[in-house]
Amino acid sequence: MPTRMGRRGVVWKTPTVTADGLKLFAAVMMLIANIGIAIVQNGIIHLEQYTQETLSQALAEDGHLMLVSGIGLVMQMMEGLAVVLFAYLLVEGFRNTSNFRKYALTMGLFALISEIPYDLAINGKILEFSSQNALFTMLVCLMMLFFLEMIKNGQGFLPGVLRVLIVLCALFWVSMFRMAYGLGMVLLVADLYLLYSRNVLKTLLGVIIGLLYITGPLAFYGIWCCNNVRKDRIPKYAYYIFYPAHLLVLGIISKLM
C-alpha cells in the first residue's frame, strides 16, 4: 500500500483498489450515466421533442423540469469516469491476455449483440445508425493495440511515423462510424499504452485528454491506487453480458414511460 509522510512524522496511507474493484466501479458509473440518458433524458424529459430554443424556454418556465434536467446532466457526467477506467482496463487486459484472438472475437460478438439494446436505450429506436455502441470503440482500440505491439521495439523515425498512422487510423474509424466514447477512448488507450512506463507524463497527458469528459481526470486517482490484483470474483463474461442487458432494460423502461 503506497504511503506518504506528512507533518510531524504522520504516515498517510493511500487506499488500494484491485483491478476487479476498478472494473466494478466503472460499470456502475456507466450504468448511472446511461440511466441519465435513457430514463431521465429520453423517458422523462423526452428531449427529442425540443429544439434548442424551445428547451431553453421550457427550462426557464418550469423549475421542476430544470431540476430533473440538472440531475440527468450530473448523472451523464459520470460517463467520464467510466471511459478513463475502461481505457486503462483495456490496456491492462491486452497486456495480460494469453489469447488475443479469443479476446477480440468475444468483444466483437458482444458489440454486435449490444447494438440493438444500445440504439433502444440511447436513441429510442430499435435500429439506428447515427452512433454505435462503446464495445465497437473498444474493439477498434484493441486492434490498434495489436498493431502498435507489432512495432513496439522499433526505434527511429519510421516506427514513430507508423505509430502515429495507426492511432490516426483508429481515430478515423471511430469517427467515421460515430462510435460511443470514440475520440477520447482512442487517445486515452494510445496514451496509456505508448507511455506505459512513463508514469508522470502518461498521467499528465491522460488528465488533459480526460477533460473531454469533465470528470475524466478524477479517474486517475483510482488508477494510481490500483494494485493490478486480479481475483475475478465476478466472472469477466458477466461484464460483457451486463452491457447489452442493462441497455435493453433501460431502453424498455424508457419506452414505457
Q: Is 18 exposed, middle or buried (0-12, 13-18, 19+ CB in 10 A)?
A: middle
* Backbone angles phi and psi of 4, in degrees to 5: -135, 135
Burial class, 92, CB count within 10 angstroms (exposed 0-12 / middle 13-18 / buried 19+): buried
In a domain, 64, yes or no: no
Give the per-residue SS3 of 116-185: HHHHHHHHCCCCCCCCECHHHHHHHHHHHHHHHHHCCCCCCHHHHHHHHHHHHHHHHHHHHCCECCHHHH
Confidence of residue 215 (pLDDT cuts 50, 70, 90): very high
> For residue 18, what pLDDT is reported?
87
Residue 3 binned pLDDT confidence (cut-offs 50, 70, 90): low
Cα–Cα nearest to 188, from 79, 75, 103, 90:
90
Residues of the chain above pLDDT 70, percent: 94
Residue 97 lies in a domain: yes
Q: Pick from 16-25, 48-57, 173-182 the range whose average pLDDT is largest.
A: 173-182
The rounded distance, in Å, linking the Cα atoms of 61 and 76 is 23
Domain span including residue 145:
16-30+77-256
Backbone angles phi, psi at 214, to 5 degrees: 65, -60
38 vs 156: CA distance, rounded Å: 48
Q: Which amino acid is at 5?
A: M
pTM of the complete model: 0.89
Is there a domain that residue 5 lies in?
A: no
Whether 93 has a pLDDT exceeding 70, the answer reads: yes
Residue 229 lies in a domain: yes
Q: Report the alpha-carbon distance of residue 78 to residue 87 in Å, rounded.
A: 15
pLDDT tier at 130, thresholds 50, 70, 90: confident
Q: Is residue 2 part of a domain?
A: no
Q: What is the mean pLDDT of residues 231-237?
A: 77
Q: CB neighbours of 217 closer than 8 A, spacing ≥ 6?
A: 84, 206, 207, 210, 211
Model confidence at 174: pLDDT above 80: yes
Query: Who has greater pLDDT, 11 or 87?
Result: 87
Domain membership flag for residue 203: yes
pLDDT surpassing 50 at residue 1: no
Q: 44-79, pLDDT tens digit by residue?
A: 888 888 788 887 888 788 888 889 999 999 999 999
Q: Is the pLDDT of residue 172 over 50?
A: yes
pLDDT over 80 at 229, yes or no = no
Does 38 fall in a domain? no
Q: Which residues of 155-188 are buried (b: 16+ CB within 10 A; e: fewer)?
A: eeeeeeeebeebbeebbebbeeeebbbbebbbbb
Give the range among 31-45, 159-173, 183-197, 229-243 with minimum mean pLDDT: 229-243
Q: Give me the number of domains the chain comprises.
A: 1
Q: Comparing C-alpha atoms, which of 86, 72, 69, 70 is closest to residue 28?
A: 86
Classify residue 108: in a domain, yes or no. yes
